[in-house]
């Protein structure tokens, strides 16, 4: 029986962000933007959605008087990501 | 990456995950400056001490004080590199703490060996006075072995963990020299210490620095 894929993760940019964050301890907004080639506006919206879902933590700080946004995957985010990958594999394996 | 909310197929999702994980892997890139500096500092200290012994002169200060002075640029480089780092990989915390612990151990070792040496010195002098012969045991002849033992540890672990062969071999060389220096004279010990620091840190540092500059150039070209 196939499970439905998590709609929060099953979108190109959000999945890219989560894949990056699962690989590092934490990452700055600019790092995520560089790696995903997304616009700042679109990335902000998708990061907000992931934050609202409880998948990532977002902290805003200042460095040398410039705002700095740092993102970190949460335990809930890791669990959701692992489930998503397992579901994908079952789709591909049985499909 | 497209700006629209594109729905992915299962295959595209897995490919995207793999691609982003690979991109994230490139996060940790050491500038190699600290390795170059410490490799050079230890080699200079050892070779200057060797020349003092060989040519029979004495500098007005202890050349090993240079290692204390090198801590200042080390802190500067570390802070600068940390500021530049836009993402913190899981390994970063481990490597940072391991090298910091290594630094603490080195300074503790300086204190311990210094204490043992000053404790033994009156005994060896007494022995010489009583027998007219030089004491059969001089602690300073084993100094290099203790330090080379420590040099090898973080170097080997970094080399193995980062799959960076120059450091792996450098770490092993430190341990080989650690054994050899037990049986050699102080002069040879100093040469082996200088060689170890060059092969364990200076040369790997140069390779890291070259890779870092290459990666930076590649990144700049990709953003054009």
pLDDT of residue B93: 83
CA atoms within 13 A of residue A81's CA, in its CB half-sphere: 23
Which residues constitute the domain of residue A80? Answer: 12-94
Question: Cβ A39–B6 below 8 Å, yes or no?
Answer: no
Q: What is the value of ipTM here, to two decimals?
A: 0.87
Residue B221 lies in a domain: no
Q: pLDDT band for position B224 (50/70/90)?
A: very low
Which residues constitute the domain of residue B134? Answer: 32-83+90-211
Residues A48-85: tens digit of each pLDDT: 999 999 999 999 988 878 889 999 999 999 999 999 99
The conformation of residue A24, written as its DSSP 8-state character, comes to S
Residue A4 lies in a domain: no
Give CA–CA dist B41/B67, Å, rounded: 7
Searching chain B, which residue's CA lies closest to the CA of residue A82? B17
Q: How many CB pairs under 8 A join A and B?
A: 91
Residue B99 lies in a domain: yes
Q: What is the CATH classification number for the domain harbouring A32?
A: 1.10.10.10
Searching chain B, which residue's CA lies closest to the CA of residue A88? B10
Residue B223 lies in a domain: no
Residue A7 lies in a domain: no
Q: How far is CA A81 from the centre of its chain?
A: 9
Residue B220 lies in a domain: no
The Cα-based distances of A15 to A4, A84, B122, B198, B215 in angstroms read: 16, 10, 70, 45, 26
Residues B56-102: tens digit of each pLDDT: 999 999 999 999 999 999 999 888 888 888 888 888 888 889 999 99
Residues B19-35: tens digit of each pLDDT: 998 888 766 677 899 99
Question: Cβ B20–A85 below 8 Å, yes or no?
Answer: no
Q: Which residues of A touch B (CB under 8 A)?
A: 5, 10-13, 15-16, 19-20, 22-28, 30-31, 34-39, 42, 63, 84-85, 88-89, 91-92, 95
**What total of structural domains would you count in chain B?**
1
* Token output for B127: 């022995």
Q: pLDDT band for position B6 (50/70/90)?
A: low
Residue B4 lies in a domain: no
- Which residues fall within 8 angstroms of residue B40, CB to CB, at 6 or more apart? B202
Residues B166-198: tens digit of each pLDDT: 999 999 999 999 999 999 999 999 999 999 999
**DSSP H helices in A1-95:** 12-23, 29-36, 40-52, 75-94
Give CA–CA dist A88/A32, Å, rounded: 24
Question: Cβ B92–A25 below 8 Å, yes or no?
Answer: yes
Residue B105 lies in a domain: yes
The Cα-based distances of B17 to A33, A48, A86, B87 in angstroms read: 16, 20, 13, 18
The Cα-based distances of B123 to B91, B98, B116, B134, B140 in angstroms read: 48, 37, 11, 11, 14
Measure CB to CB from residue B23 to each of A28, A35, A95 and give the nearest one.
A35
Residue A47 lies in a domain: yes
Give CA–CA dist B23/A19, Å, rounded: 10
Question: Cβ A12–B27 below 8 Å, yes or no?
Answer: no
Residue B96 lies in a domain: yes
Which residues of chain A lie closer than 8 angstroms to B19, CB-CB? 19
Residue A81 lies in a domain: yes
* Token output for A85: 């990958």
Residue A5 lies in a domain: no
- Cα-based angle B185, B103, B91 (whole degrees, multiple of 5): 125
**What total of structural domains would you count in chain A?**
1
Give CA–CA dist B70/B16, Å, rounded: 45
Give CA–CA dist B93/B210, Å, rounded: 24
B11: closest CA among A20, A1, A32, A85?
A85
Q: pLDDT band for position B12 (50/70/90)?
A: confident
Measure CB to CB from residue A35 to each of B2, B11, B20 and give the nearest one.
B20
CA distance to partner chain A, nearest, from residue B214 (Å): 18
Searching chain B, which residue's CA lies closest to the CA of residue A86? B14
Residue B21 lies in a domain: no
Residue A67 lies in a domain: yes
Question: Cβ B16–A25 below 8 Å, yes or no?
Answer: no
The Cα-based distances of B172 to B29, B112, B176, B198 in angstroms read: 23, 24, 6, 13
Residue A75 lies in a domain: yes
- For residue B131, give the 3-state DSSP assignment: helix
Q: pLDDT band for position B2 (50/70/90)?
A: very low
For residues B193-210, average pLDDT: 96
């Amino acid at each position: 029986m196939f499970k439905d894929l998590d709609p929060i993760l099953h979108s190109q940019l959000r999945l890219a962000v989560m894949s990056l964050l699962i690989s590092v301890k934490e990452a700055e907004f600019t790092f995520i933007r560089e790696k995903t080639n997304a616009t700042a506006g679109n990335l902000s919206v998708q990061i907000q959605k992931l934050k609202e879902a409880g998948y990532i933590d977002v902290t805003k700080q200042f460095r040398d008087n410039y705002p700095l946004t740092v993102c970190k995957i949460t335990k809930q985010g890791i669990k959701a990501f692992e489930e998503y990958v397992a579901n994908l594999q079952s789709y591909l394996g049985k499909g | 990456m497209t700006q629209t909310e594109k729905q992915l197929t299962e295959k595209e999702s897995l490919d995207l995950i793999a691609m982003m994980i690979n991109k994230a892997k490139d996060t940790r890139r050491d500038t190699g400056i600290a390795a170059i500096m410490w490799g050079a500092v230890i080699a200079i200290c050892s070779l200057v001490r060797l020349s003092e012994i060989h040519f029979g002169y004495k500098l007005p200060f202890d050349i090993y004080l240079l290692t204390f002075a090198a801590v200042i640029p080390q802190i500067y480089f570390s802070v600068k590199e940390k500021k530049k780092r836009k993402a913190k990989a899981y390994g970063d915390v481990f490597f940072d703490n391991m090298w910091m612990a290594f630094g603490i151990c080195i300074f503790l070792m300086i204190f311990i060996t210094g204490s043992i040496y000053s404790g033994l010195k009156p005994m060896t002098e007494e022995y010489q006075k009583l027998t007219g012969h030089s004491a059969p045991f001089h602690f300073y002849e084993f100094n290099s072995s203790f330090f080379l033992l420590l040099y090898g540890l973080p170097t080997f672990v970094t080399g193995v963990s980062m799959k960076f062969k120059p450091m792996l071999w450098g770490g092993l060389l430190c341990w080989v020299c650690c054994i050899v220096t037990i049986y050699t004279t102080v002069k040879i010990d100093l040469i082996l210490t200088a060689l170890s620091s060059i092969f364990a840190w200076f040369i790997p540092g140069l390779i890291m620095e070259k890779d870092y500059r290459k990666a930076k150039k590649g990144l700049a070209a990709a953003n054009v």
